[in-house]
Amino acid sequence: MGVKFSTLQTLDRNPQPAYHARLYQLTTRGDTPMYTFGRTSLTGSCLALLACLQGGCGSAEISVQFHPATATTTPPARVVFLAGPDSHLPGAHEHEAGTALLSAALRERQPSIETVNVYGGWPSDESIFEGADALVMYCDGGDSHLVIDHLQTFNRLLDRGIGVVALHYCVEVPRGSPAADAMLRAIGGYFETWWSVNPHWTAQFTRLPPHPVTRAIAPFSLEDEWYFNMRFVEGGVTPLLSAVAPPSTMERWNGPHSGNDAVRKLVADGVPQVLAWAFERSGGGRGFGYTGGHYHANWENDAARELVLNAIEWVAVKP
């Protein structure tokens, strides 16, 4: 019998029929984690929504789970996942469930990788980071970003060359702040308010460049809250997912996240926008930014999920 590890419900964005909702279950059987997607009724989703409204969508409690490597057939690595509190209604910004999914899938494909999953925020015991080869952050950004109050530790990790993966809202830090400097140093780019934008749209990835992160990933399309017009450093950044944003992405008024004259011209001119990228630091260490990840159900997309897993391996396992 499978032991249920985590269960959550996410509403279909375009349900057909309308009462359908996605149910995600992550189970373990023996030493082999597995994940499946099924369906449940609207009743269960309403109960989840009610619980969210009554008790909050995320938990303030910080917990840690250690998952040791189970094989030594490939180069070993230690990956620390930082999941911020869930911050939206069920189906979006499911940081804990998304982290559990990615961590289990990573160990399934590379049993020599040890993972440490931190749920709910920054760990009080920072010895967790000792010996870590990579840090994967899936959390809210802006003024609530996890690194803001821990920049000394974060910069120390960068000094020793730790790989960094930043997913979705995690790529945004306050404009012109010390956190922005640290994020530029870590992954080579970030969401800058009044410059970058965050519309929901379907990106068509018709061509992917050759790179270890795009290994075995075929062209695909996916609806998500794809941020674009990121602020990048000069040099070291390799665009991996690029797409032309449709005019519908500019339907909102100008604002810190919604639009500005510069990005409107880029969209009008049909300039491809970078939605995921790899970064190699001149002083050593690698980074990866991925602006998708708003909808939990999108981890069901093989191309999106495997691309992120490739990226985690790439930043963690040095040649």
Residue 256 has what DSSP assignment?
T
> What domains sit in the chain, N to C, each tagged with a CATH number?
3-316 (3.40.50.880)
pLDDT tens string 202-238: 999 999 999 999 999 999 999 999 999 999 999 999 9
What is the mean predicted confidence (pLDDT) over 66-85? Answer: 92
User: Of all residues in the chain, what percent carry a pLDDT higher than 90?
Assistant: 76
CA distance 5 to 54: 24
- 153: helix, coil or strand? helix
pLDDT at 58 (0 to 100): 46
pLDDT at 72 (0 to 100): 84
Residue 198 above 60 pLDDT?
A: yes
Q: 276 and 291 in contact (C-beta within 8 Å)?
A: yes
Its pTM stands at 0.84
CA distance 82 to 92: 17
